[in-house]
Amino acid sequence: MECTVKFKLTSELTQEDWKAYIEAFNEVFHKDYTIEQLTSKYTSTCWGYSMHGLVYVDDLLVGGQTFMPQKLNYKGREILLANGCDSFLREKCRYDMEAMAKTRKPMYEYMQSHGVSGTFGSTYKTFVKYLSHFLGVKEIGTPTNWVMPVSYVPGKLGLFVNPFLRLAVKSLLSISLLNKRKLFSGKELFTPVGYYTPAAYYTTYKELKNGRKCNYHISAKNHLVIIQDDFETVADFVGGVMELLAENKYRVRAVEYRTGCRLPFPFRPYKKNEIFNGNLWDENISMDDFCDFSKWRYKRGYFD
């Protein structure tokens, strides 16, 4: 079974391409997205389009990889990197990791010829090994996934127990409202430019009472997942979480947040099998800086 790869820009995808793509995408990710939703995502970049590597077997689309250009600040100057996302292969083709790695080659050539300094993205550890072997991808670090249970007792018993659990969570969070510690040290070298919203097509945008803003969604497991935000301090973050819980309290079983900073109790860390990784082509950017996860102001909506 031989795979072929086609490179296209978002504007070059035909209606037939989109139909095949959305079918495979939803099958692999167990989602129900529409063409309009993914078009909105892929055209929300600083270029107004993204780059796509499409994998075919006998003219059947079996996988894809997308890169979305994004501006970042590095040591006081603006640089252009590309966020790798939505990497997938249909189950029967997942043995061919080399083909998946090859989807990147034409995109890399296009990006380098258009002033892109490098790439980044979060990828499962097994695939990173293939990317490292075939394309020289470097491991940068492992983002922390934080979770805070809110109410997790099912059935009739939960009707009595969960209100007390929610009250306990609220009390614990209230203590951190006084914590003015910065979420990040301020020594990070790679920081997003502006309030970038690549995931806004499936999230709820909220302007909070404390003056901050965020995008979030409620998952199929009734987890409140914060996708993007402009929280600066622990108090900002906790105040935002408390407001979101107050609005959605009967729907939410837990709160999730993926970041590179430390969060207060009752949030608990757990790590997924994903590695933040990338390629660097710009000699004016230090490879030591690039490969040091502590130098990135990592938040899920900007780098995932």
Same domain, 113 and 243: no
Sign of CA dihedral 194, 199, 202, 204: negative
pLDDT(131) > 50: yes
Question: Across all residues in the chain, what is the average pLDDT?
Answer: 87
Cα-Cα end-to-end distance for the chain: 31
Burial (CB count within 10 angstroms: exposed 0-12, middle 13-18, buried 19+), residue 169: buried
Same domain, 247 and 163: yes
Range of the domain at 207: 144-270
Residue among 241, 233, 193 at smallest CA distance from 214: 241
Same domain, 202 and 281: no
Same domain, 133 and 192: no
Same domain, 260 and 294: no
Whole-number percent of the chain with pLDDT over 70: 90
E-assigned strand segments in 133-203: 138-141, 144-149, 190-192
Q: Identify the residue whose tokens are 């389009």.
A: 49
Same domain, 177 and 221: yes
> What is the number of domains present in the chain?
2
Give 208's contacts (C-beta < 8 A, 6+ positions apart).
Answer: 214, 239, 240, 243
pLDDT(31) > 70: yes
Mean pLDDT for the stretch of residues 1-22: 91
Same domain, 138 and 278: yes
| Predicted confidence (pLDDT) per residue in 212-256, tens digit | 988 898 888 889 999 888 899 999 999 999 999 998 877 888 999
Kindly state the helix (H) or strand (E) to which residue 275 belongs, with its residue range: strand 274-280
Same domain, 135 and 206: no
Same domain, 233 and 202: yes
Same domain, 72 and 132: yes
